[in-house]
Copies of this chain bind each other. A is one copy, B any other.
């Protein structure tokens, strides 16, 4: 039996109906939260004690959309039109990837995510066994899916789907259950309708959720209308996409009717504010989505369009951006933004066992060093975390009760080797 006692800390629990901040103690037993409260825990004999003074403990962050392997392309192309960025820069480099590159990029991404407080990430890419193995080795929680593009002959389509299904079967539940899997048509504009229907059918057969990119740009929405006579939400609905638990990345360009339909279908959205800004895609209608009760979460997207994996920045962007764009300083309050990165994020990807610090939940949590000037005075720790914190303030990280970061050192990964391998992989790709 393993026990960790967090002693005399401040806690933002993110538990529904609770005070936002409690000062007290938390006991973790065998990877699960056994106690959290103001009094010292019973049954804490032989627990490893973590002194909580000067630290704020909160749930690990949940990043619901990304492409870890693309971390190798950080800074390789910025400030370009989408066409130049994608066709002249990203695709030619991605075409050269071999397994070792995907692994090097995934390791770099996971190192960066853990060091900035993300304990669960969603990833859609190819060579996903590399991403899965990297996740298992690091100890991070991962929700993985082989994204398939269907603009290819039927036999290639079939081969890709079979690969996606095989990956999903093989890795679901790996790493003591920390790895889960989905199926993913890349996007409505890159997958013919009948191919999407086959993927939906496979998801039913395997009882898996679905993930896709949707309505990231105005142009792809228009293309959907031109090609199929309807906008993406109605199109996917007709293909029974929402008959499965479904996670939609971006969803920037939505009509009122589409928002209503997404709410009615219980679909989840990964809001990626920084990537949407950087690529000039626009600003998602977050206040409207929240008002209509659509399940919302936050993602960084790939590093090539962000260019980092610090989810605190997405939380802050979600809290700030919509105030300015809607002209309403009460839009997306700090606590709501923090929920999107923690409890609501977990719910949006059907991981109801994480996302808050409550008895019975998996012990995925982080400690922030709040003995720094930007966390003073002690007016409102939720506000400070949302509006003043960033990933570099993270001091310790635990996933399923196992400490993965201690005083900003990675315990399961060799950071120097990961940086070296990433640099070497990038230089190989450049040749």
Contacts and interface: CB of A to CB of B under 8 A. Distances in A.
Interface string A326-350: 1111110110000000000000000
A374 B112 contact: yes
A324 B283 contact: yes
Interface stretch (A69-77, A150-158, A223-231): A69-77
A387 B323 contact: no
B75 A309 contact: no
A377 B74 contact: yes
Contacts of A85: 329
A214 B108 CA distance: 45
Nearest to A377: B426
A423 B280 contact: no
B377 A422 contact: yes
A378 B329 CA distance: 39
Contact of A306 (B282, B321, B379, B387): B387
Q: How many copies does the complex hold?
A: 2
Given A280-B331, A423-B378, A373 B115 contact: yes
Contacts of A258: none
Interface string A243-269: 000000000000000000000000000
Contacts of A392: 390, 392-393
Contacts of A377: 72, 74-75, 422-423, 425-427
A111 B375 CA distance: 12
A387 B277 contact: no
A216 interface: no
Interface of A: 72-76, 78-82, 85, 108, 111-112, 115-116, 218, 274, 276-283, 306-310, 313, 316, 320-321, 323-331, 333-334, 371-374, 376-381, 383-384, 387-388, 390, 392-393, 415, 418-419, 422-423, 425-427
12 contacts: A74-B374, A74-B376, A75-B379, A75-B383, A75-B384, A78-B383, A78-B387, A112-B373, A278-B324, A280-B329, A373-B419, A373-B422
